[in-house]
Amino acid sequence: MKQNGPSQAGSDYPLAIRSQICYIMDMKQKPLTIAQFFKQFPDDETCLQHIFDVRFGQGYECPKCEKASNWYRIKAERAYSCQWCGHHLHPTVGTPFEKSRTALQLWFYAIYLFTTTRHGVAAKELERQLGVTYKTAWRMAGLIREHMADVDGENPLGGFMKIVEVDETYIGGVNHGGGAGNKDGKTAIMGMLQRNGEVMTVVIPNRRKSTLQGHIVANVLAHTEIHTDDFMSYAGLDGTGHKYWHKTVNHSEEQWVSPTGTTTNRIEGFWSQLKRGIFGTHIHVSPQHLWKYAKEAEYRFNRRHRPHTMFSELVSTYQPLI
């Protein structure tokens, strides 16, 4: 889903707004320090103004009177008023901060913590850092992970002369249900990783051929070279009508790289990162919420070459108002 925010340092925004966004993104290619964060966002008012600027800005056409307007801050609420008709514009609508009474600066700081740690932040740590209740911290963490998933999007992988590695694994979690996707109380998750590109994950109900190949066809472009292990559910990928070039590596014979270079080592490396994050930081993740943790890891991986942009992207990219 297309986002209403700056993917290229705010190139679609007026100069005054671009300068603010670029200040956050530049920092000599390094993430913000804590001191820099609090200098940039010293209070709630600054955070609200930032959201207003990146989503609307002065001169934004009023949805009610349809005139380009100057917008004036309404102190009694998180809103701005149209100079012509008085229509109220609420910058936090459609963001993780909507309907939240938690201070915006705390929200921004929570996002900062998420983007400056290797494996994310546990709700207990957010509770301690922010001084909020555990219930509030848990809800904030979940919404931030959902926001990461939303910002990351799901662009198709592969294409001509591109290689995509596909694999599935099980993640631990208390699950009293059954089904082919459940193995000793674990939940199945599938991953597709483009060489030198992005990864995409999806929690799956089972590992049947129709499930795995259905997700491949939906998310991997035609004419892609696909590498998998020799699991039988991948058999016949060449005949899906998408003109895939399917190559396998035989893990059952402890083969990790075939003589022709076929391997799934990269996607398996991503699984290792995901599991270290879950078991090292969160200890236990329920199947119901597993997709959020996978999407958080996906978001980090897809920005591994530009980690300094994660914070600015998350506080500057939101869904457009309908």
Query: What is the reported pLDDT for 182?
Result: 52
For 265, residues 6+ apart whose C-beta sits below 8 A from its C-beta are 165, 256, 257
Name residue 190's amino acid: M
For residue 191, the cross-strand partners are 167, 201
**pLDDT class of 7 with cuts at 50, 70, 90:** very low
d(CA 223, CA 226): 9
Query: What is the reported pLDDT for 37?
Result: 98
71-74 vs 245-249, strand pairing mode: unpaired
Whole-number Cα distances in Å, 153 to 14, 199, 310: 25, 11, 14
d(CA 149, CA 9): 20
**pLDDT class of 4 with cuts at 50, 70, 90:** very low
pLDDT digits (tens, 9 = 90+) for 278-293: 988 887 889 999 999 9
Query: What is the reported pLDDT for 14?
Result: 42
Query: What is the reported pLDDT for 284?
Result: 82
Nearest to 188 by CA among 227, 233, 157, 230: 233
Q: Which of 61-70, 98-107, 206-215, 248-257 has the lowest mean pLDDT?
A: 248-257
pLDDT digits (tens, 9 = 90+) for 129-147: 999 999 999 999 999 999 9
**pTM, rounded to two decimals:** 0.87
Out of 1.10.3210, 2.30.30, 3.30.420, 3.90.550, select the CATH number for domain 163-285. 3.30.420
For residue 202, the cross-strand partners are 190
Nearest to 106 by CA among 148, 49, 44, 20: 44
**pLDDT class of 223 with cuts at 50, 70, 90:** very high
* For range 180-203, the mean pLDDT: 88
pLDDT digits (tens, 9 = 90+) for 202-216: 999 999 999 999 999
Q: Which of 14-18, 126-130, 164-168, 318-322 has the lowest mean pLDDT?
A: 14-18
For residue 245, the cross-strand partners are 225
For 227, residues 6+ apart whose C-beta sits below 8 A from its C-beta are 163, 164, 165, 166, 247, 248, 249, 262, 263, 264
Task: Give the domain ranges of the chain.
Answer: 15-56+91-152+305-316, 163-285
d(CA 233, CA 211): 9
Q: Burial of 212 by CB count in 10 Å (0-12 exposed, 13-18 middle, 19+ buried)?
A: buried
Q: Which two tokens stand for residue 122?
A: 């546990």
Q: Which two tokens stand for residue 219?
A: 């998310």
Query: What is the reported pLDDT for 149?
Result: 97
Q: Which two tokens stand for residue 70?
A: 């100057």
% of the chain exceeding 90 in pLDDT: 77
88-89 vs 79-82, strand pairing mode: antiparallel
